Amino acid sequence: MSLRHAILGVLSVEPMTGYDLLDYFDISAGLFWPAGQAQIYPELRRMERDGLLAATVAPRGKRGKKRIYALTPGGADELRRWANEPPPHGPDRDPVRFKVTYFDQTEPAHARAYFAAHIEHYRARRAAWAERADAIRARSATFLRARLATRDPDEHERIVAFKALALDGAIARADAEIAWAERALEEIDRLYGVSISPSSPR
Amino acid sequence: MSLRHAILGVLSVEPMTGYDLLDYFDISAGLFWPAGQAQIYPELRRMERDGLLAATVAPRGKRGKKRIYALTPGGADELRRWANEPPPHGPDRDPVRFKVTYFDQTEPAHARAYFAAHIEHYRARRAAWAERADAIRARSATFLRARLATRDPDEHERIVAFKALALDGAIARADAEIAWAERALEEIDRLYGVSISPSSPR
DNA sequence: GTAGTCATGTAAGAGGTTACATGATTAG
DNA sequence: CTAATCATGTAACCTCTTACATGACTAC
């Protein structure tokens, strides 16, 4: 039930509407915990019902309305409680690797395209994580600045350090994925002979 | 819908009952795609309904019965079709890393225990994957031997190579996780001062 | 007989995805 | 006036988890 904690994490900076929350899921929380609106709106209602959030209905223009959600003390407690739990290591399914297990049943061209796509995928994710890590370390990420503003300056270094550390883990994982896929491409060359295509590196 | 393909993969070696399948999920398929009996039995029925499997009811003792499932040609096609699809990169949620994001709200002792547990977790998984990779490369894994027996010897090298490659990816990932967690422990020392405990390495 | 293994299911619930659906407000 | 954005929901469906449930067979 980590969607709940992702929401608590965002709202611990400042109260906002579900719609605003969606933006934060795109840029920051979504790097580790993507979620769409079909998940967020009902969850906000449940969290309100469970006493983790309090909503105030604010007018929007003349007739419009919006619900601004804020953490309750119970919500802040729950966020802290969750952060103090051990690592949530579920059973890890690995569909990408699992499929490779059956690559003897494919053409080498498919195997090459597969690993190339894997590399592209993790290059893109790596870039997103690295960009965010830089913004965190430079303390230029606006959402981080808002968070730091609510905290004692003594704590700032640690707040920044842990967020950067998490992103570093994701980056290291991406690097491992890319390195593996590159070794895989070599292995395919070894198994089938070197590919004819100019292996266009980019 | 990869449970389905995990089942097809196991049954592509030889027909067996749901109960036998469960064993294979523990030792081989389960390394990438764990599944319990509450998932497998109903899925077998659905796959039979969809024409991917054919079941023969065999007697077991005097009154007992069991259903032995075998791939149909359609099932074999589906396995090949699936293997030829691009990498199934879903949205990756990362609950372990996500929680680290909020470690400024925890005691350093918790942070240390957290990363120690992460290291232990991946050490154990790494060992399981490495053991399997060795057994695959040595061609001593019984399930692999059964598979090779059904295939042209020309294909054996590739079958072994792709299975080993997949496991190598998992191992590389585990190494990256362990290295990250070790860096994290150092970072915690830096942030809070070196821990008093003898840091008992094992 | 009794414990362990073989064998197969169902039910409830949690969490996530995709698609559908609606309407107000604001900027041009 | 019209398009983009703000804002909030519902419904159907899929997958997985946990727990409950049953019964035959085999080795001791």
* Per-residue model confidence as pLDDT tens digits over B16-62: 999 999 999 998 988 999 999 999 999 999 999 999 999 999 999 88
Distance from A72 to chain B by nearest Cα, in Å?
Answer: 17
Which residue, chain included where needed, has tokens 């992460």?
B118
Which residues of chain A lie closer than 8 angstroms to B114, CB-CB? 86-87
CB contact under 8 A, A104 and B155: yes
The per-residue pLDDT for range A108-133, each reduced to its tens digit, is 999 999 999 999 999 999 999 999 99
Closest CA relative to residue A176, chosen from B165, B134, B175: B175
User: Is the pLDDT assigned to residue B199 strictly greater than 90?
Assistant: no
User: What pLDDT sits at residue A201?
Assistant: 53
CB contact under 8 A, A166 and B97: yes
Tell me the C-alpha distance between A105 and B70, whole Å: 19
User: What pLDDT sits at residue A193?
Assistant: 84
Given CA atoms A97, A98, A99, A104 in this order, what sign does their dihedral have? positive
Of B33, B105, B161, the CB nearest to A191: B161
The per-residue pLDDT for range B117-172, each reduced to its tens digit, is 999 999 999 999 999 999 999 999 999 999 999 999 999 999 999 999 999 999 99
User: Is the pLDDT assigned to residue B201 strictly greater than 70?
Assistant: no
The per-residue pLDDT for range B10-26, each reduced to its tens digit, is 999 999 999 999 999 99
Which residues of chain A lie closer than 8 angstroms to B157, CB-CB? 191
User: What pLDDT sits at residue A76?
Assistant: 97
> Residue B202: pLDDT band by 50, 70, 90 thresholds?
very low
CA atom of A65 to C1′ atom of D22, Å:
55
Closest CA relative to residue A147, chosen from A5, A55, A7, A9: A9
Closest CA relative to residue A94, chosen from B45, B46, B98, B177: B177
CB contact under 8 A, A86 and B117: yes
Residue at B59: amino acid letter: P
Which residue, chain included where needed, has tokens 């821990």?
B195
Closest CA relative to residue A99, chosen from B85, B148, B43, B160: B85
Q: Can you list the pairs that A132-139 forms with residues at least 24 positions away whose Cβ atoms lie under 8 Å?
A: A132/A28, A132/A31, A132/A167, A133/A164, A133/A167, A133/A168, A133/A171, A136/A160, A136/A163, A136/A164, A136/A167, A137/A164
List Cβ neighbours of A91 (8 Å cut-off, separation of 6 or more): B34
> With 0-12 CB in 10 A as exposed, 13-18 as middle and 19+ as buried, what is A33?
buried
What tokens were used for A190?
């070894």
CB contact under 8 A, B101 and A161: no
CA atom of A37 to C1′ atom of C21, Å:
14
Covered bases, chain C (protein CB within 7 Å): 6-12, 14-20, 23-26
